[in-house]
Structures are given as structure tokens and as C-alpha cells.
Amino acid sequence: MLTKRKLFAPLAAATLLGAGLTAAGIASSASGAVPTTIPLTFTNHSGRAGQVYIYDLGTQLSTGQQGWADANGTFHPWPAGGNPPTPAPDASIAGPADGKTLTLRLPQFSGRLYFSYGKKLVFKLATGGLVQPAVQNPSDPNRNTLFNWSEYTLNGSGLWINSTQVDMFSAPYAVGVKRADGSTQSTGHLKSGGYNGFFTALKAQPGGWAKLVQTAPDGTVLRALSPGHGIETGALPRTVMDDYINRVWAKYASSTLTVTPFADKPATKYFGRVSGNTMTFTNSSGAVVTSFQKPDADSVFGCYKLLDAPNDDVRGPISRTLCAGYNRSTLLTDPSQPDTSAAGFYQDAVTNQYARAIHARMADGNAYAFAFDDVGHHESLVHDGDPRQAYVTLDPFS
């Protein structure tokens, strides 16, 4: 997912690997039976008056150029940016009114589908590319605009499209795909009352979690920042996960954590033990394969820094497994990871309360509440190798 980034990049490993596609294989698979564009239907069931604006921004896989697509799916490269960043061309598409639909063309792309309510988003171009909205920054021009986004990749191997909460929980929506046989699959819908229920639950949680909620100047709720951004802004204390991390460290100083990162390769196992400030992993032959320093909450919530996950065959898969275990608080209850049974997730008093509140309110239980929420296939992602149509549905704020 696109966590901790402002400049545009293609979908990161969290999404791609969860979809069974390696980052290295994106461009190489961009030719095949899938058409150069497919229909994308936006349906507005938000119950809100006012104009909706849609943006399709990303990387053209055939060329690697960054840019935007118009309603016909035609690609437009960004012009050169500046320092300081310069205004980007207006890439907005007027979306459907409440109760209406609009069908666009989705090109072979890896990027984001933004949508905003009542106001256009402000995008700028730096010398390194597009500057994304970063509403954890109080001076970001989009701070008081209600918006959200989906991430997708469409290439010769098919469509991957998700609903994501990695950076924030905001305007409710779902995504879907239509297959060649006419059947459809969707994900991202909240339970009845789930939108308001999420904010109620987060505000009732002690320890700074309520401070993740951002409101407009008139007091209207706009979003909740992810806990990683909460630490960045000072809303959450950096020590919020310390108690759990300390208990994990103590447990595996005298016992072994077994990681089996590939469901289709059960014989591939790694064994972790703690010594001092280091957790070292060995393979079945006893050879050291990688090690991790004791993480902090920011590393846990962002699945980066001290839990960095390169796109390789050893460290990355182990790190992803650890990240999921820390966020879901399963590392103490199950010494064999990943623990993929949702019934045991978020049961410790110290856990990712943001992710817990989101998953509890999803109609299908699936979400992308942190970067490697795809471990065990609990992510809000749909995929089809021969997609005929994509869908984004703007849901009610209830």
C-alpha cells in the first residue's frame, strides 16, 4: 500500500504480493488478453448532495510514465514539476449525483482512484513526481476536504482493486469486478451502522486513539488517521505498543517463534529467538537468514523501519508475518505464525485498536487496515484475470 509516501509510486508490495503478483512482474505482465481499457462504473449511494469529483492517477505500465487518465481512459503524462511544487493540471472528472451512476474507462495502469465530495482536490507536481494529499500535515491544502481513494492495478494478467484504510478511514465505499461469466465480486461495504460505529468505538478507546479523528472547522467528522500517522502527528504516544512488544520479546527469549510464511510451501520454516535487542531467524538447517532489532510502535503500524519488508524470498515474508502478528496481537497466543484465524485477532488489551474497529464493522470482515493485512487473506481486495468491468460504489455515511 502507499503508506508513508507523498510522491506517487505504483501499488506497493503489500497489495501486489497479496494478489499473487510480484512487484518485478508488474510491467512485464502488462501485455495480454486483457483490453487496454475496461469499463469502470461509479455508483453514488452516499446520500449526500453536492458534486463528487473523481481522479484516476497513476503509472502507465507500458511506458512507466506517471500521469492521469480522463473519462475515456486516455492517458495524459504529467508535465515537469518544480521546487517548490507547481500546480498539477486539473485531472478531475465530474462524478455522479446521489442515486446516479457514471461509467468511465479504466486503462492499464497502477495507481489510485481518488474521489472527493463538494470540492476538488489540490494536487501539485514536485521534481520527483506527483505530491499526494497528506492530511496528517495540518497545512495540507486537502486537510478540510472530504475524500478517499481506492488502489488498483490493471494489466495483462487482470485487475486487482482494493478498498484501503492503510492511511486513513474516511468516506465509505466498496469496490468490485465483473467476471467473464457475468458473476461479480465485491468488498469494502460496511455493516449497517458501521461508519458511525467505527468513530464511536475509536473515540471511546483510551490512550489517545480518539485523537486520530479529524474534523472540519464546523465540527463535521472527516476521517480518522491510521495509527502510524497518529504517531507522526503526536496524537498517539510512541509507547502505545511497548507493553505488548516487551512481552513478545520476553517470551521468545526463552522459546522459539516459528514462521511459515508461504501457505503453498509448508516445509519452508524459519525459527526466531531473542537475544538482547535482536530477534534472529534461522532456517531448518540452522543457518542464520536474517535478524530484526526490537521494533517500536511506528515500525509495527507502518510495517517498515525496524520491520522493513523487502520484496525478496526471506526477510520480506518473515517481516510481513511479524507485522501482522504484532498488529493483530497474536504473537503471544500462537508461537506458530502466521495465525490466520480472525477469531483470535485483536484480543490483547494492547493492540491496533484502529484496525480492530475497522474489521469489526466490515460486512465481510475484510479490510486493509495496515500494510500487510493481506497475510492470511483478510484484505479488502478483489481480483480477476479476465475482468469485464470494475465497480466503485460510494456508500451511505451511516
Q: What are the catalytic residues? A: 151, 167
Strands 270-275 and 101-107: unpaired
Please list, in sequence order, all residues whose beta carbon lies within 8 angstroms of the beta carbon of residue 331, skipping any fewer than 6 positions away: 248, 251, 257, 322, 325, 337
Task: Indicate the helix (H) or strand (E) that contains 37.
Answer: strand 37-44
Phi-psi region of 363 (alpha: psi -120 to 50; beta: other; left: phi over 0): alpha
| 41 and 390 Cβ atoms separated by less than 8 Å | yes
**Where are the alpha helices (H) located in 98-235, listed in sequence order?**
194-204, 227-233
The cell for 47 is 446520500
C-alpha distances (whole Å) from 100 to each of 46, 96, 112, 202 are 10, 5, 22, 32
Please list, in sequence order, all residues whose beta carbon lies within 8 angstroms of the beta carbon of residue 370, skipping any fewer than 6 positions away: 166, 226, 301, 303, 323, 324, 327, 352, 355
State residue 178 phi and psi, 5-degree precision: -105, 130
**Sheet harboring 168-169: ordered strands across?**
168-169, 221-225, 213-215
Give me the sign of the Cα torsion angle 10, 153, 55, 35: positive
Q: CA-to-CA distance for 133 and 138, rounded, in angstroms?
A: 11
Place of cell 482494493: 162
Q: CA-to-CA distance for 346 and 359, rounded, in angstroms?
A: 10
Strands 270-275 and 257-259: antiparallel
